[in-house]
Amino acid sequence: MFGDLVDQDHPKANTVFFHFSIRLNPIQFSDIIIDDSVDFHSIKVLEYRELRSIREETFVNSDILKTIEHSITRRQALKIAAFCGAGALFCGTALTKPASHPDTTEWQDLIAPDLSNVDMPAGSWEMKDGVLAAKTHDTIWTQKSYGNFILGMEFKVAKESNSGVFLRAGDKKDVLSALEVQVHESQDGALYGMVGAIYNAQPPSKKMQKPVGEWNRFTITCDGSRMSLIFNGEEVWNINLDDWKEPHKNPDGTKNKFAKALKDFSRSGPIGFQGLHGAAEAPVWYRNIKIKEIKKSE
């Protein structure tokens, strides 16, 4: 049974949503509890790590939808515990993620203002007035490893900037052991080298970057095999790494540079920021780099 926990960080905390994922066998309801004491339209979300999707229209079973619609029309709020043959209903393949950029004010700083919690060559990066800037081509790495988390940040690029955010690195000495979310003015010549892409693996669904000199925003979620990116207010990819089943091959059939299938990549590791990269070695800036660790939901 799901508790009455309220997650104030959920960006749509004024509505309860449900998403069902059927894997092998039909779903059987084990319990439906109706609570008359709360107005359905103002109830806070019950722990969005359990209720992962935010689209009511994505129900995959019309009978379930009718059951829930009936309950909603008769009462003000409901909680559901249901199970299927492949496991708990809410432990399906959907991703724990915010639906838009969350308020990160109370989240932890990923990088300390004095750079005391990172590994980098001396003088390669600086933090000034809350803005992190690269001075050389070297990558800056967190000393701590992170597994399941939501990472928020803003970044600004110059003409021909080329940088990136490395996630869950398996080996700091090998950047291809980490997935890199591209930070660019536009793109480089590599497959899926555009800003907002996972380098060499996954392009964004649309162009969302702002003009050079303006601040952009990323919200990156890593939750087990699931990952998503919200880029300047819109989700541009939401993927399952388990779909990358072979080395050197993406699910869309294109070839990548990874000697290991992405499904076998480390699910925990340091987070890094690529320094001045590309022929121009143009500057790049990051600020408001905040992280919230979450429980693995699969």
Residue 145 has a CB neighbour count (10 Å cut-off) of: 13
pLDDT tens for 25-59 read 333 333 333 333 333 333 233 333 333 333 333 33
Question: Which residues lie across from 237 on neighbouring strands?
Answer: 229
What pTM was computed for the model?
0.69
More confident residue, 2 or 109: 109
Q: Give me 115's structure tokens.
A: 């750079």
- Angle of CA points 185, 289, 190, to nearest 5°: 30
Contact 115, 141 (CB under 8 A): no
The pLDDT score that the predictor gives to residue 251 is: 97
Give the per-residue pLDDT at 8.
Answer: 43
User: How confident is the model at residue 24, as a pLDDT?
Assistant: 31
Return the domain boundaries, the chain.
Answer: 1-94, 108-293
Under CATH, which number does the domain 108-293 receive? Answer: 2.60.120.560
What is the 8-class DSSP label of residue 6?
B
Phi and psi dihedrals of 34, rounded to 5? -105, 135
pLDDT at 143 over 70: yes
- For the segment 58-99, what is each residue's pLDDT rounded down to a tens digit? 333 333 333 333 343 333 333 333 323 333 333 333 444 566
